[in-house]
Structure 1
Amino acid sequence: MPVRGDAMVPPLTGVRVLVVDDLEQNRRLMHAVLEPRGFVVRSESSGPAALEALAECEVDVVLLDVLMPVMDGYETCQRIKADPHTAMLPVVMVTASGTQQRLRALEVGADDFVTKPFDQAELMARVRSLARVKRLHDTVVEQTVALERWTAELESRVAEQVADLERLSRLRRFLSPQIAGLIVESGDESFLESHRRDITTVFTDLRGFTAFAETSEPEETMAVLRDYHAALGELVFHYEGTLEHFAGDGLMVFFNDPPPCADAPRRAVRMALEMRDRVDELAAQWRRQGHDLGFGVGIAQGYATLGRVGFEGRWDYAAIGTVTNVAARLCAAATTRQVLISPRVRAGLDDSFETRSLGPVELRGISRPLEVHEVIGTIGQEAFP
């Protein structure tokens, strides 16, 4: 059974050998010895020709004669080892039997040597051994390059994911998770730039909260707000509304921006009614604790200017316009459990909602009386969406 490390070494087949010798009969001899044994042999007659060949093709082992004109084997070996691309290429020097030549061969960087006349079995063993080392080295280099590439890709992906998470965290402060996720996936944040849009705005708050906060301990106030925000925030996300802000007991949500919403009035009213049911459950608990708190809602439809407001490190997404003021004034005018809506919101509802007209109502800060409608509830059990 091969050891575990052997699995990394490619099969030793098709070993590529470059034979460098100025004598044609020696080159022919090397071809005759190596090629029948499966080696792929290329031969050159000089050192310069050998260097050109190494620049053109891949080689596993060089068999290099010492005594050659113009550029001898020692200088050729030095140049091979000095080039970063061939520095690890095994070079076998073919020398005479003298000790001095063998020492010189090792000094210039030769990996091994054979002496003339050479023993064929010895030559095969040396070439195969060095070719195996070369193949292993090539495998390690390839794996290193692949690892570096993979590491760079991983770092890039991690950086992108961190940026996406930061964007998602920023967007989720005022968008539902599913909408924030879609924006992050698309990479489109153009909606943050100032623009106008016809939106349906929902404003809610608690009746009696100011008096409650003045007479209660801070811990009690925060506990009430925590339960209130949790209940309403879940519904904002469920109905895919855009959360403009929490301000104490006040909550402002709008529909049809950033994502378009064809049924914005219906969705806003249905959310408000479900919020009212949730707060009814909370109000029962609060009464047992001695707190008398009610819930009112105002909903208006109209054009607003929307976009990012704030400063670096603290941005919000805001809607500015008369429609937001109308929603806030309708909410202020609502009594406990009332959901008051503007005429445009009423026009956007269908027969699944029961409403009644309250006639013209003067709202603080609004120049003319506004025809106000109260939403009583829904007819039937239509589910969202």
Structure 2
Amino acid sequence: MHDPPRILAVDDTPENLEILRMRLEANGYEVVTAADGEEGLAEARARKPDLILLDIMMPRLDGISVVRMLKQDVSLRSIPVILVTAKADTRDVVEGLDAGGDDYLTKPFEHRALLARVRSMLRQKALHDTVESQAHSLEDQAAQLAAWNRSLEQTVAEQVAEIERMSRLRRFLSAEVADLIVAAGNGDGLLESHRREVTVVFCDLRGFTAFAETAEPEEVMTVLGEYHCCLGEQITRHGGTLERFVGDGLLVVFNDPLPCADHTERAVSMAAAMRDAIDEHSERWRKRDYFLGFGIGIARGHATIGQIGFDQRSDYAVIGTVPNHAARLCEEAKSGQILVSQRVLGIVEPLVESAPVGELTLKGFRRPMLAYEIVRWLG
């Protein structure tokens, strides 16, 4: 709606147009005039009035034809039309209303009747404009809501992907390290196959097989839970990466996926802390008539590292002689012993009290390997 409302008066008689203009302007309306149907149609398209007063009997293009053309135009069909006729023939009125006219006046018309019909039609136009505006607003809101939904779906998908990445990483790493990797945005890349020098720690319980054969399953699971919880604290504290559980055995990697310059020192320090922690548990286990020992092997060298498996199941793995070397040293270790390779001792010798063990013939290795016992971590 315009303010003031805009009314288009179309009549081929100048005197009638002047009377309409004067009466309507006197009541605060803006009035646009046209002298025939073609001019009226052009003015309607150009000025978009709020109401049209349209004479039926006009040359060139009569009022009924103009109504039909107005109602066929999507941009004009909502404008109400009052048909003005000098005829009293009902057929003209019916034909005009059927063509799309909204009301009619018969000449000569009374001033108050004219204004009453004008007000009525303008109320309908205002209501239509309000409904149309609300419809457009709802369309805009629906489009905005759809955009928000798309954005939300994308955000959720990204968060789900991040949770999946975090889940994969937290299987091997402490929560703090996993958070750091995900925040850096390279979690998946760090799990791709690559080669790196690492320090590997392998540890297991002594006498566990005999214990598992005689103890109740519930007792076995209780001991394993206590054992894993005890070692897990030390792995997290020293920044190690848990590569796998093998029954009572654990394989821990240092320097991957996050590199650290002092990875061998961390590994040996962790091993000493593990031994001390398990010693405390051993006392409690002996009181429950469980006689279990604990041994550790540590080796250093290059290995191939990355994610292995298939879509439904995958693991992080360290492949090469280094994990085998650590596992074989662990097999040779007596209860309470930490055995390390010559390369490991060469790195940590100033930080530990050690003792030579001599050459050991290890399964899977063609020549004997020098080994050393870590008696005490000096730090």
Q: Identify whether the pair has TM-score above 0.5, normalized to the shorter chain.
A: yes
1:371, distance to aligned residue in structure 2 (A): 3.2
* Partner-residue secondary structure (3-state), 2:172: coil
Cα 1:279–1:16, aligned 2, differ >3 Å: closer, same or farther? Answer: farther
1:128, distance to aligned residue in structure 2 (A): 3.5
Cα 1:348–1:114, aligned 2, differ >3 Å: closer, same or farther? Answer: farther
Cα 1:138–1:374, aligned 2, differ >3 Å: closer, same or farther? Answer: same
Does residue 75 (structure 1) correspond to residue 69 (structure 2)? The answer is yes
Cα 1:342–1:73, aligned 2, differ >3 Å: closer, same or farther? Answer: farther
Report what 1:7 is aligned to.
Answer: none
Report what 1:91 is aligned to.
Answer: 79
Amino acid at match of 2:70: T
1:209, distance to aligned residue in structure 2 (A): 0.9
Q: 1:174 aligns with which of 172, 175, 180?
A: 172
Amino acid at match of 1:163: A
1:90, distance to aligned residue in structure 2 (A): 4.2
Report what 1:329 is aligned to.
Answer: 328
Counterparts of residues 230-249 of structure 1 (less than 5 Å): 230-249=229-248
1:152, distance to aligned residue in structure 2 (A): 2.1
Kept in 1, the 8 Å contact 2:282–2:292? The answer is yes
Instruction: Render the CA deviation track for 1:275-321: whole Å, top value 9, x for unaligned.
Output: 22322232222111110111111111100011222222111111111
Cα 1:285–1:90, aligned 2, differ >3 Å: closer, same or farther? Answer: farther
Cα 1:16–1:121, aligned 2, differ >3 Å: closer, same or farther? Answer: closer
Report what 1:295 is aligned to.
Answer: 294
Hey, what's the Cα distance between the residues in 2 that align with 1:18 and 1:285? 97
Report what 2:188 is aligned to.
Answer: 189
Tell me the TM-score normalised to structure 2 length.
Answer: 0.75
Instruction: Render the CA deviation track for 1:141-162: whole Å, top value 9, x for unaligned.
Output: 2222222221222222222322
Cα 1:238–1:47, aligned 2, differ >3 Å: closer, same or farther? Answer: farther
Amino acid at match of 1:76: L
Instruction: Render the CA deviation track for 1:27-68: whole Å, top value 9, x for unaligned.
Output: x969x969x88x9x9x995658867x79xxxx8x85456669
Judge which range, 17-26 or 203-212, deviates more. 17-26
Report what 1:383 is aligned to.
Answer: none
Hey, what's the Cα distance between the residues in 2 that align with 1:289 and 1:192? 42
Kept in 2, the 8 Å contact 1:307–1:318? The answer is yes
1:235, distance to aligned residue in structure 2 (A): 3.0
Hey, what's the Cα distance between the residues in 2 that align with 1:313 and 1:16? 71
Long gaps (5+) in structure 2: 86-91
Does residue 104 (structure 1) correspond to residue 102 (structure 2)? The answer is no
Cα 1:250–1:137, aligned 2, differ >3 Å: closer, same or farther? Answer: same
Amino acid at match of 1:296: G
Cα 1:328–1:126, aligned 2, differ >3 Å: closer, same or farther? Answer: same
Report what 1:276 is aligned to.
Answer: 275
Report what 2:88 is aligned to.
Answer: none
Tell me the TM-score normalised to structure 1 length.
Answer: 0.74
Amino acid at match of 2:362: R
Tell me the number of residue pairs that the alignment of Structure 1 and Structure 2 aligns. 346
* Partner-residue secondary structure (3-state), 1:189: helix
Cα 1:22–1:244, aligned 2, differ >3 Å: closer, same or farther? Answer: farther
* Partner-residue secondary structure (3-state), 2:73: helix
1:364, distance to aligned residue in structure 2 (A): 1.4
Paired-residue identity, %: 39
Kept in 1, the 8 Å contact 2:353–2:378? The answer is no
Report what 1:153 is aligned to.
Answer: 151
Counterparts of residues 193-212 of structure 1 (less than 5 Å): 193-212=192-211
1:227, distance to aligned residue in structure 2 (A): 1.6
* Partner-residue secondary structure (3-state), 2:239: coil
